[in-house]
Structure 1
Amino acid sequence: MTQVLVLVFALLIGVIAGLRAMTAPAAVAWGAFLGWIDVDGKWSEWVAHPITVTVLTILLVGELITDQLPKTPSRKVPPQFLARLVTGGFAGAVIGSAFFHTFSATGAGMIGAVLGTLAGAELRTRVAAARGGNDRPGAFIEDALAVVGGFLVAFLVSVV
């Protein structure tokens, strides 16, 4: 049962990466730092280091700001899409490392990133259409979903 839950959490953190690429690694770093994700003595132990947490938090905040800019490229263009695959896979791997399921959790995180990328783009499109082309409300909704969801997933890992 634990392996299934690990893969579900890895998939969910991947979805978060699809919404906001830097939110997933920042959330798992905070989760590791706070002891929610047990990385002690594992390859991923460095993620819990205060410097790593600080850098990823700065990148997260920067992404939340730049996402509001009108010239920000679509998440579906290759560089943006690839970034989400990488960060989703990485965040999934960190969660998986806590239970010695790094490789399968990496794949689940990447699959989640694809789902989150496509679902997030669709959400923004629909909200923009309903608001006469204004996608800023959709961006704020997505920001909140990503940040709250990312930290919720990281916390729930501690329950397993």
Structure 2
Amino acid sequence: MTVVLALVLALLIGVVAGLRALTPPAVVAWGGALGWIDLDGTWAQFLTNPITLAVLTVLLVVELVTDQLPSTPPRTVTVQFAARLFTGAFAGAVLVTGALAAVKTGTIISGIGAGVIGAVLGTMGGYRARKALVERNGGKDLPVALVEDVLAVLGGFVVVFLASL
């Protein structure tokens, strides 16, 4: 895989972070556990540990449930936005590390940058898209949120799988 393609995938996993903050860490962990990305012997190898994998999976499911609650703040508030930037950066770095055989520090930093940019795009774009779709749907948020959940989880797995090609 080329560095450019790995960085595009890091950007896309960042977009997923903008939709659902905890999905990218879970899907890159699963990608490592399934052998889609090679994390063995890297700084990110801990993600393939069954305990880490279980914790990240539970956190992903909890996020999917809590997103449906009316008390959940919008993704654009400072804490939510910062979490998306962090997880996008983290997952971007992991994805670049696992997708490229010879990873250099500069490439990991570029993966972090791509993940952050993707997270900004996903957060702002996802917020605006969801708001517009809810308005068109007569104010019904649940169907839109559920579709967004599916897009985030499936999209995250597709991005990580593409890193294996």
TM-score (norm 1): 0.97
Distance in 1 (CA, whole Å) between partners of 2:128 and 2:147 is 13
1:97 counterpart = 2:103: no
Once the two structures are TM-superposed, the CA of residue 41 in structure 1 deviates from its matched residue by 0.8
Q: Alpha-carbon deviations, 1:54-95, whole Å to 9, x = none?
A: 100000000000000001000000000000000000000001
1:128 counterpart = 2:134: yes
The match for 1:154 is 160
Distance in 1 (CA, whole Å) between partners of 2:4 and 2:80 is 29
Q: Name which of 115, 118, 122 aligns with 1:116.
A: 122
Any stretches of 5+ residues in structure 2 without a counterpart? none
Distance in 1 (CA, whole Å) between partners of 2:49 and 2:36 is 14
Q: How many residues align?
A: 159
The match for 1:19 is 19
What SS does the aligned partner of 1:43 have?
coil
Q: Alpha-carbon deviations, 1:104-147, whole Å to 9, x = none?
A: 10110010000000111012101110111111111011101000
What SS does the aligned partner of 2:58 have?
helix
For 2:80, the aligned partner's letter is Q
Distance in 1 (CA, whole Å) between partners of 2:37 and 2:43 is 13
For 1:114, the aligned partner's letter is V
For 1:139, the aligned partner's letter is A
% identical aligned pairs? 59
Provide runs of 4+ in structure 1 moved above 4 Å.
none
Once the two structures are TM-superposed, the CA of residue 148 in structure 1 deviates from its matched residue by 0.3
Distance in 2 (CA, whole Å) between partners of 1:141 and 1:122 is 15
Any stretches of 5+ residues in structure 1 without a counterpart? none
TM-score (norm 2): 0.94
